[in-house]
Amino acid sequence: MAFFFEVFVSGLMVGIMYSLVALGFSLIFKASNVFNMAQGAMSLFASLALYGFLEQFFHFPFWLAFLCTVGVMTIIAYVIVFVILKPLVARPPLMLFMATFGVMYLLEGFGQSIYGTQAKGLEIGIPDNVYEVVGILISSFDLFFAGIAAALVGGLAWFFQKTRNGRALRAVSDDHEAALSVGIPLLKAWYLTWVIAGVVATVAGVAWGTRIGVQFSLSLIALKALPILIIGGIDSIPGVIIAGLIVGAGENLGEVFIGPYVGGGIQTFFPYLMALVVLYFRPYGLFGKEIVERV
Amino acid sequence: MLSYFNGEDIAMNEKKEPLLRAENITITFGGLKALNNVSLEIYPGEIMAIIGPNGAGKTTMLNVINGFYKPDEGSIFFEGKRRSKDLKPNQIAAQGIARTFQNLALFKGMSTLGNIMVGRTMKMHSNPFSQGLYWGFSQKEEIEHRKKVEEIIDFLQIANIRRTPASMLPYGLQKRVELARALAAEPKLLLLDEPMAGMNLEEKEDIARFVLDANEELGYTIALIEHDMGVVMDICDRIVVLDFGNKIAEGTPEEVKATPEVIKAYLGTAE
Amino acid sequence: MAIFPIPLDRWGFIFMLFLAFIVVPLFASEYLVTNIIIPFYCFALSAFGLNVLAGYAGQVSLGHAAFMAVGSYASFILYGRYGIPLIPSILGAGVIAAIVGTFFGLPSLRIKGFYLAISTLASQFLIEWIIVHWQWVSGGVFGTIEAPDMFIFGGAIDTYIKKYYLVLCMVILLMTFGKNLVRGQLGRNWMAIRDVDYAAEIIGVNLYRDKLIAFSVSTFYAGVAGSLITLCYVGVANIEEFNVMVSFALVGMIIIGGLGTILGSFLGAGFFVMLPIAINQGLGTFMEVVKPDILSNIEAIIFGGLIVFFLIVEPYGMARLWHTIKEKMRLWPFPY
């Protein structure tokens, strides 16, 4: 029984880390109705940049390296919005989605060109002790990032619910032309969102980079985040965390308890299977906003 | 050809079976009652108008008739038969109801011709495999329906824009193409949602003429939503007035014009 | 011939046929044919399948390569293991892929947009896992099975020329079928679903049926393409050939080539196949040996850059660009 809980809890922890990545997706979608395929690549680029500031090209202390990375991601956010999204503002969302495809390739290509393709270790001094809580082993590393994730989610949820900017963003996200014609500074909103998403991507990149090292497969973590978005509902910030926990726990439990019977290796598709089940009952995710067609 | 009745002949009107009957339709959206116990009839061969201020529920009524919305209460009777609750919109269309949309729902990725051909879809029965071979039955069918579509194109005088991509057409012509697409279905009941919205006088006269021709020459039964009272008074046989989801008046144009509720709720003057 | 109303198109097509059937086999090297042209045809076929689903019917699929894998393994099993004749095996593989594809297309009846796109990833990962873990399919430890020698009516398909003609003929036949399909009522219904699906339904289009048909046609093409590429190019069925990055690349191909066009499927596939070679040649003038990771990075940058470029400048891709050039050529030297 204790084993079950241990698998469960470690799954929850991993789930939170997935949520960090999913958060960026959700953010951009909430604010601009764009599904950013490049979010994983952004995390990768952010962690590469961080490594560059920490070890590869400079030897900054962590706080400075982090700030510089945020700066870099801000510039990238501006470039993406200005060069790529602005011209496409009036086009159907499918096109914007495909544009983020292009961004994904670009970021991966540039990132690895500048920083090289070998895996790099990221040491940033997060304590890696193991605590025992109610008979279950939890690492402080996981707890630390759980805390960060909680803070981020809380902050973003507050932003969208309570601040004027946040509410304005929510109001205009699904009709760009209408927003523009009413005079809402849509572009400014997009800059803001993408910069924040860049910061979120940086945090996610740091988290995962420390966990598995900075390497190309980081951008594939995003593929894990996608079922989270489906289960939680792509535009619900609290949904992201809850779904992240579900996916993390489910994936772990599934692999440990069901895996041996079917040959193992089911972590890749199990979250997607869960997502399909959820979609059957809730086509917009557990907490997603249902889109009512106006005929 | 087809016999039809003239709206002024009220006695004849009351003896006919309605083509479509909506009975006690109630539908609520998130706390707002869009339609509240609305009943109406549409008789064969007439042009009926549904009017009312914005938000009255007119488009919602059409959506219910199309089966796009399912009413919370009430039923639709088409040709005397009660409509089953689980019919899908395309099955309802196949029964003989066609529609144009308030905000235009043209298929922007296709030409005028393509759009109108989609209107024929219920009448085309060849299977995909034979369409891929384009031989025999599917070839014959394609040609035959194309001929019919060309007739409609001539009727609405849009021959010169047949191949133009729909996205490049001026607004007035787009509306006309959408009308053509609805006519292509050769429906028993034609629903037009503000077919003249946003048009100048000349364009409105054109559309009005086409609507009248469709009704008089081709014998179509038409229900339309329209804000231009002049047009409504001119071409419609009967009018139903909605306000805030309730039916507040019904009758011939003269009767409705004189109803105090209508005057109060809807200070629409003849333009 | 109504399929090519403009004489320029007609002659152009005949010219391309001439190139394909006569010039290439005579003058192209074995390397060129085996490693570039055959994969080009196969990817064009697969890209066309994806175009049917995403470009015409508007259902984005991010897992298209998985169905190529289904076709690949299915053809091996049908032909290599059960001895069914070659052509029926290839087509049968397509049918099997279509059946699987229709099943995975069921979610499209309830969900749309990005939710649907992500659920198609489910098919990619699930199919990958099934192929690797289901012993009856994979036949081996690592999910790789070797290509058997090919025979049609007793004649061996052993030279690269014969393989070339096999692929060429299948591609031409299937693309003609496909072109008829998209130009007919089904194609129009698909575009209607793509553009304004509620209007299509209210007008009488059967969304359920037509969406599922789109999935089955699309995955049929993927299956045939998958079997052809394994039989005639790679030589082994290997799930790695059809991973998620290939699915993404296919999406990129149809964007660059031109969504909702047949020509676009060819142009996009051609671009994708030629790109690494072009970069290699281009860089070869600057450096001696191009390291594979630099190559793939530059590929990624160019690929991504072009996707963005086309979406902004010419969302209908290279096909529309070509169309515009053609129109200008017809009117040249007059500007109108």
Q: Give pLDDT tens digits for C101-135.
A: 999 999 888 888 878 888 899 999 999 988 888 87
User: What is the spatial distance between Cα C101 and Cα C108, in angstroms, rounded to a whole number?
Assistant: 11
Domain assignment present for C223: yes
Compute how many other C-beta atoms are within 10 angstroms of the C-beta atom of residue C18.
11
Report the pLDDT averaged over residues A17-42: 85
The CATH number assigned to the domain holding C151 equals 1.10.3470
**Residue (of C131, C163, C147) closest to C230 by Cα position:** C147
Instruction: Give residue A126's pLDDT.
Output: 67
Non-local (6+) Cβ contacts of C246 within 8 A are C65, C68
Name the token pair of A245: 């926990």
- Collapsing DSSP to helix, strand or coil, B250 comes out as strand
Domain assignment present for C300: yes
Do B233 and B270 touch, CB atoms closer than 8 A?
yes
Instruction: Give residue C268's pLDDT.
Output: 92
User: What is the spatial distance between Cα C174 and Cα C90, in angstroms, rounded to a whole number?
Assistant: 12
Does the beta carbon of B62 lie under 8 angstroms from any beta carbon of chain C? Answer: no
Do C71 and C91 touch, CB atoms closer than 8 A?
no
Higher pLDDT, C111 or C143: C111
Q: C-alpha C92: how far from its chain's center?
A: 17
Total domains present in chain C: 1
Q: List C-alpha distances in Å: C8 to B73, B149, C265, C323.
A: 60, 28, 20, 11
What is this model's ipTM? 0.88
Domain housing C117: 30-331
Compute how many other C-beta atoms are within 10 angstroms of the C-beta atom of residue A62.
15
* Residue B12 pLDDT level (bands cut at 50, 70, 90): very low
Report the pLDDT averaged over residues A279-284: 84
Shortest distance, CA C41 to any CA of chain B (angstroms): 20
Q: Using CA of residue B82, residue B84, residue B88, residue B94, what is the dihedral sign? A: negative
Interface touch C118/A275, C-beta < 8 Å? yes
- Collapsing DSSP to helix, strand or coil, C297 comes out as helix
Q: List C-alpha distances in Å: B270 to B51, B233, C61.
A: 13, 8, 53
Indicate the average pLDDT of chain C. 86
Domain assignment present for B123: no
Strands (E), A18-151: 130-133, 136-139
Domain assignment present for C200: yes
User: What is the spatial distance between Cα B22 and Cα B38, in angstroms, rounded to a whole number?
Assistant: 7
Q: List C-alpha distances in Å: A280 to C219, C271, C321.
A: 22, 38, 41
Report the pLDDT averaged over residues B224-239: 91
Does the beta carbon of B167 lie under 8 angstroms from any beta carbon of chain C? Answer: no
Of A168-182, B50-64, C40-54, least confident by mean pLDDT is: A168-182
Does the beta carbon of B101 lie under 8 angstroms from any beta carbon of chain A? Answer: yes
User: What is the spatial distance between Cα A263 and Cα B42, in angstroms, rounded to a whole number?
Assistant: 64
Instruction: Give residue A187's pLDDT.
Output: 78
Instruction: Give residue C118's pLDDT.
Output: 85
Domain boundaries, chain A: 2-228
**Residue (of A193, A202, A268, A198) closest to A235 by Cα position:** A193
Instruction: Give residue B2's pLDDT.
Output: 38
- Collapsing DSSP to helix, strand or coil, C209 comes out as helix
Does the beta carbon of A95 lie under 8 angstroms from any beta carbon of chain C? Answer: yes
Domain housing B78: 10-110+186-265
Total domains present in chain B: 1
* Residue B195 pLDDT level (bands cut at 50, 70, 90): very high
**Residue (of C225, C166, C264, C170) closest to C42 by Cα position:** C225
Which residues in chain C touch residue A280, judged by CB atoms under 8 angstroms apart? 107, 110
The CATH number assigned to the domain holding B38 equals 3.40.50.300
Interface touch A102/C60, C-beta < 8 Å? no
* Residue C154 pLDDT level (bands cut at 50, 70, 90): low
Q: Which chains touch C (3 or more CB pairs under 8 A)?
A: A, B
Which residues in chain B touch residue A294, judged by CB atoms under 8 angstroms apart? 103
Does the beta carbon of A292 lie under 8 angstroms from any beta carbon of chain C? Answer: no
pLDDT, tens only, C283-319: 777 766 667 777 788 888 998 998 888 888 887 788 8
Domain assignment present for C198: yes
Report the pLDDT averaged over residues B255-271: 72
pLDDT, tens only, B185-194: 999 999 999 9
pLDDT, tens only, C261-273: 888 999 999 999 9
* Residue B15 pLDDT level (bands cut at 50, 70, 90): low
Q: List C-alpha distances in Å: A137 to A9, A18, A148, A150, A245.
A: 9, 20, 20, 20, 17
pLDDT, tens only, B53-111: 888 899 999 999 999 999 999 999 999 899 988 899 999 999 999 999 998 899 988 99
Higher pLDDT, A124 or C136: C136
Instruction: Give residue B271's pLDDT.
Output: 45
Q: Which chains touch B (3 or more CB pairs under 8 A)?
A: A, C
Does the beta carbon of A90 lie under 8 angstroms from any beta carbon of chain B? Answer: no
Share of chain B above pLDDT 70, in %: 92
Instruction: Give residue C146's pLDDT.
Output: 66
Domain assignment present for C286: yes
Indicate the average pLDDT of chain A. 82
Do B65 and B89 touch, CB atoms closer than 8 A?
no
Q: What is the pTM of this model?
A: 0.88
B221-225/B189-193 β-pairing: parallel
Report the pLDDT averaged over residues C162-186: 92
Q: List C-alpha distances in Å: B202 to B180, B205, B209, C75, C171.
A: 19, 5, 11, 64, 53
